Amino acid sequence: MRRGIKNQFLDTNLNWVLFTVILGIVALTVHLIAEFVLHIYDVTQIDTFTHWLSGMTVGAIILNLNLSRSRKRYYAIAIGSAYVFYILWEIAEGLYFYYNPLGMIQTEFWDAIKDLWLDGVGALNACFLADEVIP
């Protein structure tokens, strides 16, 4: 039987904490390399992958926290947090586009809906993985 980490702030195990840290590093690295090194955001669908990965990362971070006595609520909280993070991200992109209209940021409605969906799917994937990793 594996011992979990359970205290005032965390309700998880070391494997999930390490997975979350690695996932966060991978998500940030993929985004930075795609945007600033390879410059492929405007010529590929890498945005699809990075939104899924960022949704999964936000979900994984939330699943580390001791938020409720009921694990059943963790799915809704993790997916809702990914949606909130995504909406804040889209607001930041909209502000950037407002002040720099010649930039390469996509601001179409259906692109935003697709990105929202992918963030939710990524968070749901994190929930399914957490059920397997966290005792």
Domain that holds residue 48: 5-133
Higher pLDDT, 70 or 56: 56
Average pLDDT over residues 113-121: 93
Which pLDDT band, with edges at 50, 70 and 90, does 36 fall under? confident
Q: Is 39 left (phi over 0), alpha (psi -120 to 50) or beta?
A: left
C-alpha triplet 55, 18, 31: angle, nearest 5°: 40
Distance (Å) of CA 88 to CA 46, 67, 82:
20, 22, 10
Give pTM, 2 decimals. Answer: 0.84
**Which run of H or of E encompasses 37?**
none
Number of separate domains in the chain: 1
Look at residue 110 and tell me whether its pLDDT is greater than 90: no
